[in-house]
A and B are shown apart, each in its own frame.
Chain A
Amino acid sequence: RKEVEQDPGPFNVPEGATVAFNCTYSNSASQSFFWYRQDCRKEPKLLMSVYSSGNEDGRFTAQLNRASQYISLLIRDSKLSDSATYLCVVNAGTASKLTFGTGTRLQVTL
């Protein structure tokens, strides 16, 4: 089983739609969780950290379910500029290194 698993997509949604991605992780001792965004031929960029209580940043909402070991990202009112690959990231238990999922590709269309 991979340490971090994501549906690769692509998710094709119209502008204005709401879309949700899920990610599961295998290490129950993981403490830090993030969503990164990667545009084509660019570096990954931090989108948001994920906190136990859930957190929101504008149109983006992240949730963490420790019992089921999954993380979700909800994007409301999708924009064309949201088209990218979204990487789920988890730290390896108490170690300082992060493990990246292979990403979920989102394509927002007119």
Chain B
Amino acid sequence: DARVTQTPRHKVTEMGQEVTMRCQPILGHNTVFWYRQTMMQGLELLAYFRNRAPLDDSGMPKDRFSAEMPDATLATLKIQPSEPRDSAVYFCASGLVNPVSTKSYEQYFGPGTRLTVT
């Protein structure tokens, strides 16, 4: 049963500290997404990659957030420095996109990282 995995599941940190979240997408999926979910904003897309190349990170605060895919089995989302307003659940999702038509298929979510910045 293939799943997206994320670590850590929970993170509590102090303002100003660096936070790194990791995601292992489902093997064979060519697209990886990072989302943030809060009660107020719902699910927001932060960034996504296709075949490890960043396609869109317009939803991400550039000054403190960065997303990378060092290889096909690992995606990372880093916040430096963290702020209390970054407290949220961060989800990674992976999926398949037809490279010709760019028709998107369903995405599968990891369990999320619940981040609390004090």
Whether A associates with B in a native complex is yes
What is the interface size of chain A, counting residues whose CB is below 8 A from a CB of the partner? 21
Asked if A31 CB lies within 8 Å of chain B CBs, one says yes
Asked if B42 CB lies within 8 Å of chain A CBs, one says yes
Stretch in B13-21, B61-69, B78-86, B96-104 touching the partner:
B96-104
- Which residues in B have their C-beta under 8 angstroms from that of A32? 103-105
A43 with B104: CB separation less than 8 A:
no
Asked if A45 CB lies within 8 Å of chain B CBs, one says yes
The closest CB in chain A to the CB of B30 belongs to A96
The closest CB in chain B to the CB of A2 belongs to B42
How many inter-chain contacts with C-beta < 8 Å in the A-B complex?
A: 52
- Which residues in A have their C-beta under 8 angstroms from that of B50? 96
Which of B35, B106, B111 counts the most A-chain CB atoms under 10 A from its CB?
Answer: B106
Asked if A100 CB lies within 8 Å of chain B CBs, one says yes
Among A42, A49, A87, A96, the residue within 8 A (CB) of B111 is A42
A96 with B55: CB separation less than 8 A:
yes
Query: Given A96-B31, A97-B56, A98-B104, does the pair A103, B42 have CB atoms closer than 8 Å?
Result: yes
Give me 20 A-to-B residue pairs in the complex whose CB atoms sit less than 8 angstroms apart, sorted by A's number: A43-B109, A43-B111, A44-B43, A44-B109, A46-B106, A46-B107, A49-B106, A87-B43, A91-B103, A91-B104, A95-B102, A95-B104, A96-B55, A96-B102, A97-B48, A97-B55, A97-B104, A100-B35, A101-B42, A102-B42
